[in-house]
Chain A
Amino acid sequence: MRACLGWALRGGLLGGLAFMIFGPLANLVLWAVAIQWYFPYRLPLTWGFKYWGEVFKPTSDTVAALGTSVLIASITVVICLMLAIPAGYALGRGRLPGRRLILLILLLPQAFPNIAIYFNIARLFYAVGLNGTIAGVVLVHAVHGLVIAVWIAAAAFAAIDLELELAARNIGASSLRAALTVTLPLAMPGLIASAIFVFLESLDEFTGTFFVGVPDITTLPLVMFTASLAGNYQIAAITALVLLVPSVGFMLLIERFLKAEALAKIG
């Protein structure tokens, strides 16, 4: 009897949790295939893929925005890695003078609510002509992603055994060569993870692009936002699903790279 009650409770709670987690996602999927849906109908009145046609026609805003988003995200990843790898190496390995201060400065973008920073950056960019350009948006995304990238890179480098690099130097490699050919490849999995994080953060970034990119640069989140506020829930839902594909895909992939225990160590 107690066992049955226990299972009922467990089932109920887990079922409730599943509903709360998947319900909103299911609602999204429903709107993606709905054509007409008014209250008080519980399900859409007419179904179909009409809006998919509208969203994916070659001249649509969405396809252009997708291209822009992917372009911006790719460049952001490149820039972040170029900056984060040396910084992570120095922080994770070297005896850095003022390490605490540097870590603090690098951590600032995550420690402060950054919306006010964004509209001030926009003002700054207006003055130098960077507002509304791809370069401007990339810079904003890169600053945001830099923190994660450096964090993960530092952890990745710190986890590599110093002995391996010293062994390489012992047989005559210069320190730079040892770093590049021994340490860097070993840190690869962590660096790839950070690249993926930065890519996703940039792809999904909304607030910064809202201030710095509008009106010339349109990314996928902005298209989704405009469609949603305009009441175009079908288009918003389809665009959201497009945004979700890389996110969910990488979530399944990332299980391989980041175990929960490793994340706990970083904290």
Chain B
Amino acid sequence: MRAERSNLGDCRLGILLLVAPALAMVLALFVYPLGMSLVSAFTAKDGKPTLENFAKAFALYGLDIVFTLVIVTVSTVLIGLLTAAIGGYLVLGAHPVAVAVLKSLYRWPLFIPFIVAAQCMRTFLAKNGIMNNTLAALGLVDVGSLSGLLDWRGIIVTFVWKETPFVALLVSGAMAALDRATIEAAANLGAGGLRILVEIILPQVAGVMLVGLVLAFVTMLSVLSVPIMISGGSPTMITVDMAFRVNSYSDYGVANALGFVSYAMAGLAAWVYLRRSVAHGSPL
């Protein structure tokens, strides 16, 4: 009986006190500014409630809003595909050498911070960067016509580069924990690698994959360093526009309106996640 009671002698208050400081910090330094942000988005300079911040945000940055969604969604899809490929190969790969090489390779970008990744890509994707030079050396492209990938496509490349190892790590762990019986059964029935991956493995790790992708989606929505350093001009991500509004004009109204748009996008991802986890009864 004692084993079921909580350790600190059943002191509910004591337990709450343990959590209180952490909670207080998050409430004060996250929830409260979040509230400030929401209020500011809907308040005009004279203090009255208004939608003009949103009108201005859409008028000036409408294209960027669309592009932000495109960039982050495309990146997430690519990350998903690459993760499935990497995870699948690690589990199903028949050649131990190749599997070992892949395992040691794919994790490298994981611990490289976004800002360093942005700097690496800034030079790698530039006109005189290694990528262009190598492609030119291999005769695949003509160097004079290249312009480098330093625009919204470069942002996608950087995001995929940086976030894939994280999601792949989560997913390959989940795949490794699967019961091999189902895989072997399918293989015995003659299914090929791709089919096993798509029909047997992926459905079982879909939950973990979704968690990883949603986390990656939300993380990418918040990155400032990458778009500022890689893409010189429009279209770019709204994080750059938010920083510009705040730094150049102290225009918190429009900046927070853009922030609201990014919350809405994150909300979209969260909704996708919740729908699935409610349907499948997974925890949290």
Residues of A within 8 A of B (CB): 10, 14, 17-28, 30-31, 37-42, 82-84, 86-87, 89-91, 93-97, 100, 102-103, 105-106, 108-117, 119-121, 123-124, 139-140, 142-143, 146, 150, 162-163, 165-166, 175-176, 178-179, 200, 203-204, 206-207, 210-211, 221, 224-225, 228-229, 233, 236-237, 240, 243-244, 247-248, 250-251, 259-264, 267
Q: Is the beta-carbon distance between B128 and A23 smaller than 8 angstroms? A: no
Question: What residues of A have a CB within 8 angstroms of the CB of B113 in the complex?
Answer: 200, 203-204, 206, 221, 243, 247
**Which residues on B sit within 8 Å (CB–CB) of A19?**
134
A28 proximity list for chain B (CB < 8 A): 116, 119-120, 123
Q: Tell which of A37, A116, A233 touches B242, judged by Cβ atoms closer than 8 Å.
A: A116
Query: What mask results when residues 91 to 122 of chain B are scored 1 for a CB within 8 Å of chain A, else 0?
Result: 00001001001100111111111111111111
Chain B residue contacts of A31, Cβ below 8 A: 123
* A224 CA to B36 CA, complexed, in Å: 31
Which chain B residue shows the least CB distance to A207? B224
Interface of B is mostly: helix
B223 to chain A: closest residue by CB:
A207
Contact with A along B30-41 (1 / 0, CB 8 A): 111110110010
Q: A210 vs B247: C-alpha distance in the bound complex, in angstroms?
A: 10
Please name 24 pairs of A and B residues whose Cβ atoms are closer than 8 Å in the assembled complex, sorted by A: A24-B123, A25-B108, A27-B130, A39-B128, A40-B143, A83-B21, A83-B22, A100-B284, A105-B26, A105-B27, A111-B270, A117-B37, A119-B255, A120-B37, A123-B36, A163-B3, A206-B115, A224-B115, A247-B113, A247-B116, A248-B111, A250-B111, A251-B107, A260-B173
Q: How far is the CA of A116 from the CA of B21 in the complex (A)?
A: 24
User: A20: which B residues are within 8 A, CB to CB?
Assistant: 161
Name B212-243 residues within 8 Å CB distance of A. 212, 215, 218, 221-225, 228-229, 239, 242-243
- Give Cα A207 to B219, complex, Å: 12
Tell me how many residues of B have a C-beta within 8 Å of chain A: 98
Task: Write out the residue numbers on chain B whose beta carbons fall within 8 Å of the beta carbon of A87.
Answer: 18-19, 21-23
Q: A23-B124, A115-B224 are in contact. Are A103 and B284 (CB under 8 A)?
A: yes
Query: A263 and B169: CB pair below 8 A?
Result: yes
Q: Report yes or no: A110 in contact with B116, Cβ–Cβ below 8 A.
A: no
Whether the pair B112, A244 counts as a contact (CB closer than 8 A) is yes
Contact B25 A143 (CB under 8 A): yes
Chain B residue nearest to A183 (CB atoms) is: B7
Proximity string of chain B (236-280) to chain A, C-beta cutoff 8 Å, 1 when within and 0 when not: 000100110010000010011011101101100010000000000
User: When A117-B33, A211-B246 are in contact, do A178 and B224 touch as well, CB less than 8 Å?
Assistant: no
Q: Is the pair A97, B12 in contact by a Cβ cutoff of 8 Å? A: yes
Inter-subunit contact B128/A38 (CB<8 Å): yes
- Which residue of the partner chain, among B22, B26, B40, B265, contacts A108 with CB atoms under 8 Å? B26
* Distance in Å: Cβ of B80 to nearest Cβ of chain A: 15
For the complex formed, measure the closest distance between the CB of B239 and the CB atoms of chain A, giving whole angstroms: 5
Closest CB of chain A to B238's CB: distance in Å?
A: 9
A112 touches B215 (CB 8 A): no
Do A37 and B26 contact each other (CB < 8 Å), given the known contacts A14-B102, A221-B115, A260-B176?
A: no
The complex places the Cα of A162 from the Cα of B4 at a distance, in Å, of: 9
Taking a contact as CB atoms under 8 Å apart, the answer to whether A17 and B106 are in contact is yes
B26 touches A27 (CB 8 A): no
Complex CA–CA separation, A211 to B265 (angstroms): 22
Cβ distance A19 to chain B, nearest Cβ, rounded Å: 7
Contacts of B258 in A (CB 8 A): 116
Taking the closest CB of chain B, its distance from the CB of A6, in whole angstroms, is: 8
